[in-house]
Amino acid sequence: MPANHLEVSVRLKPGGVVLDLHGEINGFAQEALNAAYADAEAKDPETILLNFEEVDYIDSTGIFLITRLLAKARASKRRLLAYGLSDHYVEIFNITRLSDFVSVFPDEESALSEASVS
Amino acid sequence: MTAPRSGAPRTLAELSLPSEPGNERRASEEVARAVSELGLPQRTLERLKTAVAEATKNAMEHGNRYDPEVPVKIQVWLLEERLLVRIIDRGGSPPPSPNAQTPDLEAKLEGMQTQRGWGLFLIKNMVDELRVSGNPDHHTVELIIHLKGEDDAG
């Protein structure tokens, strides 16, 4: 099947910066993910939101990359939130305990609502 | 509708894929296609696809060192009440130990554990049984899903 390499766009919203993720989060995603996260950090938000609505695949390397983003966010005292994960990837966030550190929401509205409470 | 599962062990698919980055998804999609007649619940199917992709990636990376001339072989078997997916590589490095250290996210975030090491952990959590065996010529990883009661799961 054709590769669907990750593309990321960055949006500034009241309450935080949203990273809109499109494609697969695997070993090919590192550059795009890190560049987008750096763009988001440059805006100095309290909260960064990861939008997974257009993500169709996350592998163990993807979990590693998300863990690195989480480590960066914690180091700079930012909150990392996630929304739009499929049920399967919500389960994987639970199994890996990522959901203990990255609050998971069903959609952008509920995530932004949480982001605006600080 | 779920297909009957009685009878002798039956091969559902035999695949041979070049060891090239990205082919783990092809493996998971082809295995999903091979088991479509079983009518697995969506949750079980998604878990199986993740386990197959991770095990195939390990085989390509560690077993075959991403040599595209060396294929990963995948066999899908329907046994009495079990689905068996066998993933075989050339065995370039020691087989992964199913008893490897469990990843601890907090320790990883504190730099006390490498941030990698999620693949085998995911596989173990996605299937009912994981078996690893090997000799100097090859490694075999067996992923087993118990089918009894699957119709009600999910």
The DSSP symbol for B150 reads G
What's the average model confidence in pLDDT over B4-19?
Answer: 87
Pairing assessment for the beta strands A47-58 and A16-25 based on DSSP bridges: parallel
Nearest to B125 among A24, A64, A95 (CB): A95
CATH number at residue B95: 3.30.565.10
**pLDDT (average), residues A22-35:** 96
Residue B3: per-residue pLDDT? 54
Chain A residue numbers with beta carbons less than 8 Å from the beta carbon of B33 are none
A64: CB partners within 8 A, 6+ apart: B115, B116, B118
B151 — pLDDT class (breaks 50, 70, 90): low
Q: Quote the DSSP letter at residue B151.
A: G
pLDDT in tens, B75-134: 999 998 999 999 999 987 766 676 777 888 888 888 777 767 799 999 999 999 999 998
Band of residue A118 on the pLDDT scale cut at 50, 70, 90? low
The CATH number fitting domain A7-105, selected from 3.30.70.1290, 1.20.950.20, 3.30.750.24, 1.10.3720.10: 3.30.750.24
Stretch A54-83: mean pLDDT, rounded?
Answer: 96
Query: Structural domain tally of chain B?
Result: 1
Q: What's the predicted TM-score (pTM) here?
A: 0.91
Query: Average of pLDDT values for B67-73?
Result: 97
To the nearest whole Å, the CA of A50 is away from the closest chain B CA by 19
**Percentage of chain A lying above the pLDDT 90 cut:** 92
Query: Which member of A3, A71, A97 has the closest CB to residue B22?
Result: A3
State whether A59 and B29 contact (CB < 8 Å).
Answer: no
Residue from A63, A65, A72, A78 whose CB has the most chain B CBs within 10 Å, to mutate: A63
Choose, out of B115, B120, B123, the residue to mutate when testing the contact with A (most A CBs < 10 Å). B115
Question: Which of A93-97, B39-43, B101-105, B138-142 comes out lowest in average pLDDT?
Answer: B101-105
Q: Provide the token pair at B119.
A: 């693949």
Report the percent of chain B where pLDDT is more than 70: 88
- CB B103 to CB A87 under 8 A? no
> Measured between CB atoms, which of B21, B115, B121 is closest to A67?
B115
Range of the domain at B16: 10-152
B47 vs B129: CA distance, rounded Å? 13
Residue of A nearest to B45 (CA): A88
3-state SS, one letter per residue, for A87-107: HHHHHHHHHHCHHHHCEEECC
Mean pLDDT of chain B: 88
Per cent of chain B over pLDDT 90 is: 68
Q: Which residue has the tokens 């990963």?
A: B72
For residue B133, give both structure tokens.
């065996």
Q: Once rounded to an integer, what is the mean pLDDT over residues A15-23?
A: 96
Q: Nearest CA to CA, how far is B28 from chain A (Å)? A: 10
Question: What is residue B29's three-state secondary structure?
Answer: helix
Asked whether the beta carbons of residue A96 and residue B22 sit closer than 8 angstroms, the reply is no
Residues 6+ apart with CB under 8 A from B97: B120, B132
More confident residue, B6 or A102: A102
**B5 lies in a domain?**
no
Instruction: Say if strands A16-25 and B71-78 run parallel, antiparallel, or are unpaired.
Output: unpaired
Q: Predicted confidence band at A58 (pLDDT cuts at 50, 70, 90)?
A: very high
- Cβ distance A64 to B116 less than 8 Å, yes or no, reads yes
At residue A60, the pLDDT reads: 95
Residue A100: predicted pLDDT: 96
C-alpha to C-alpha distance for A25 and A6, rounded to whole angstroms:
6
Look at A97 and B106 and tell me if their CB atoms are within 8 Å. yes
Q: Please state the rounded mean pLDDT for residues B46-59.
A: 97
Check whether A97 has a pLDDT greater than 90. Answer: yes
Cβ neighbours of A60 in B, within 8 Å: 54, 57, 118-119, 121-122
Contact residues, chain A, for B121 at CB < 8 Å: 60, 95-96
Interface confidence (ipTM) of the complex: 0.91
Bridge partners for B83 per DSSP: B78, B145
- Report domain extents, chain A: 7-105
Indicate if the pLDDT at residue B152 is higher than 60.
no
Contact B26 A1 (CB under 8 A): yes
User: Is residue B4 situated within a structural domain?
Assistant: no
Structure tokens at B23: 């082919």
Asked whether the predicted pLDDT for residue B34 surpasses 70, the reply is yes
Quote the CA–CA distance of A27 and B61 in Å, as a whole number. Answer: 12
Beta strands, E only, chain B: 10-18, 71-78, 82-89, 129-135, 138-146
